Amino acid sequence: MNVVFPSHVTVHETDVALAGNWTVVAFGPVDHGGVDGIRRALRTTMSVGPAARVGLRPDSGTRRWRYDPGAPLHAVREGSAITEDDYDTAMSQLLATHDPAEPLSITVRGDHVVFYMDHGLGDGQMIINLSHTLADADARNGIVPRWATAAQTRHPLAVAAMRCFGTDPRRLPRLLRSRIHPSIGVCGRKHAGGGSAGHGSTQTASTQAAPTAAGSPVEVVAAAATIECTRELARWRDDHRPGQSISILFFAALDAALRAEGLAVDDVAKVLFDVRRYLPPELTTLANLSAGIDVYLPDTTDTVLLSRQWRRIIDCGHPIANLMLVALRSKLARLRSARATDTLPPTAPDTIRLALSDMGRHARLNDIAFVGETQGSYRVMVAPASHGHITLTTARLRDSIRVAASFHSHVVDADTIRRALRAACSTPIAFLEAAASTAPVATNPAA
């Protein structure tokens, strides 16, 4: 029996806020079944209807989005075969030639897959789910992916807020205090140009990535830390920074490598936090539920301080408050019928801000059925948070750290970023040890 699904569905305000942003992914080698196999996997996923989100048409002007399950099938194409060495070029080409009318477009490149997804369809979790499905033989053979039928909450942000603040009433006062008083007290570092990059405010700002301007060139540069290098970093962590996450250590190494190339890196960094951590274990959502928070981090070399700041942000419920404000601002913008547009050519900023999006070590990512003798490759490029941002997207694939940097080419030189990423991926410990030996003494009145 054929099921008739509604032509329009109501999405979350956080989805509306991110409509128009994008993510580009390249991975392989995998057995994807060619164009026909990809289409069969998509049909299977869409058999559950708009709940799987594939087939939705994001619109930043309304919460009522059209459901068009035929569109993704027409957006599957075949291109020339590539290898991992061609990922940067292939991703940039897809971004440059992509039809804005296609929220999801997939190109088969030999035994590799490159796809574009409008951020309105979902965040990092949706990206990993979709990546796994496109290489899943079960999906091609009619078995619906478990993620597409998992129990979802209709009001994820409200549930997260009630669970966070309702179960521990002390969190709300701590959140309010942390937004009024400094949470870190460290002097700003000097850049190569001699000026301090420190900003006066130590508060987290409730901001979200804005759609990038049409016609503004975006570059992508990527690198990977080998399994041996990643394991060596883990051993060094156990000996010198026990209890700290590999993600924070690697971010600190990337920051140090970029500064070593002479870039004036700002002391404010945008960090992405997954709000699903506040949901009950039995519930999830495919909607956008990640918060990009501007955090004052004047000394990323002090990874102990970084870890403490990360934990404070999570414990106080900052990501929830951030998303609530994002949703409110999105709704107010729609009520005013105002849309943000770039009316003037962007100018190069005095300092470069980093944005960190860490996809972590996701089980479904490691379950992708890569083929051949290689370990497999996976690369994600996220839209730069602004013209003055370098967005760093990291993912753990079988103990190997993969990082991609996306940025506007009029702001920074691609070769400079490439050198920094390769250096951080090949010798992260050297950057951490060098930074630790020259770091200023920090004070933390809020500790």
Q: Are 270 and 313 in contact (CB under 8 A)?
A: no
Count other Cβ atoms within 10 Å, centred on residue 287: 24
Query: Residue type for 183, please?
Result: S
For residue 446, what pLDDT band results from cuts at 50, 70 and 90?
Answer: very low
SS3 410: coil
For residue 291, what pLDDT band results from cuts at 50, 70 and 90?
Answer: very high
- Distance between CA atoms of residues 391 and 306, nearest Å: 18
Lowest mean pLDDT among 51-65, 204-218, 220-234, 366-380: 204-218
Residue 373 scores a pLDDT above 50: yes
Please report where in the chains the tokens 């951590």 appear, as a residue: 277
Which are the contacts of 173, defined by CB distance < 8 A and separation ≥ 6?
A: none
Q: Which residue has the higher pLDDT, 113 or 284?
A: 113
The tokens of 82 are what? 């590539």
What is the pLDDT, as a whole number, of residue 340? 47
Q: What is the mean pLDDT of the chain?
A: 84
CB-neighbour burial class of residue 74 (10 A; exposed 0-12, middle 13-18, buried 19+):
exposed
- Distance between CA atoms of residues 406 and 382, nearest Å: 7
What is the pLDDT, as a whole number, of residue 216? 59
The angle at the Cα of 384, spanning 90 to 56, to the nearest 5 degrees, equals 75
For residue 439, what pLDDT band results from cuts at 50, 70 and 90?
Answer: low
Domain 9-149 sits in CATH 3.30.559: yes
CATH architecture group of domain 169-438: 2-Layer Sandwich (3.30)
Chain centroid offset of residue 327 CA: 18
CB-neighbour burial class of residue 66 (10 A; exposed 0-12, middle 13-18, buried 19+):
middle
Residue 239 scores a pLDDT above 50: yes
CB-neighbour burial class of residue 339 (10 A; exposed 0-12, middle 13-18, buried 19+):
exposed
- Looking at the DSSP bridge assignments, the partners of residue 199 are none
The whole-number average pLDDT for the span 317-339 is: 86
- Distance between CA atoms of residues 110 and 107, nearest Å: 9
What is the pLDDT, as a whole number, of residue 198? 43
Q: Which residues of 152-173 are buried (b: 16+ CB within 10 A; e: fewer)?
A: ebeebbebbbebbbeeeeebbe
Please report where in the chains the tokens 């975006």 appear, as a residue: 218
Q: Are 132 and 368 in contact (CB under 8 A)?
A: yes
Please report where in the chains the tokens 């002097």 appear, as a residue: 187
- Distance between CA atoms of residues 421 and 65, nearest Å: 39
Lowest mean pLDDT among 41-55, 183-197, 217-231, 233-247: 183-197
- Distance between CA atoms of residues 151 and 390, nearest Å: 35
Using only the alpha carbons of the chain, give its radius of gyration.
Answer: 21
Provide the percentage of residues in the chain whose pLDDT is more than 70.
85
Provide the percentage of residues in the chain whose pLDDT is more than 90.
57
**Tens digits of residue pLDDT in 99-157:** 989 999 999 999 999 999 999 999 999 999 999 999 999 999 999 999 999 888 899 99
Q: Where, residue-wise, is CATH 3.30.559 in the chain?
A: 9-149, 169-438
Q: Which of 326, 324, 328, 313 is nearest to 171 (CA)?
A: 313
- Distance between CA atoms of residues 129 and 146, nearest Å: 9
What is the pLDDT, as a whole number, of residue 38? 98
Alpha-carbon distances of 163 from 53, 170, 206, 282, rounded to whole Å: 26, 13, 21, 13
Q: Are 284 and 146 in contact (CB under 8 A)?
A: no
SS3 201: coil
What is the pLDDT, as a whole number, of residue 1? 45
The whole-number average pLDDT for the span 392-405 is: 89
If phi > 0 it is left, if psi is from -120 to 50 it is alpha, else beta; for residue 122 that is: left
Please report where in the chains the tokens 């099938």 appear, as a residue: 73
- Looking at the DSSP bridge assignments, the partners of residue 392 are 356, 405
Q: Which of 129, 73, 81 is nearest to 105 (CA)?
A: 73
For residue 210, what pLDDT band results from cuts at 50, 70 and 90?
Answer: very low
If phi > 0 it is left, if psi is from -120 to 50 it is alpha, else beta; for residue 180 that is: alpha
The whole-number average pLDDT for the span 437-445 is: 47
What is the pLDDT, as a whole number, of residue 20? 92
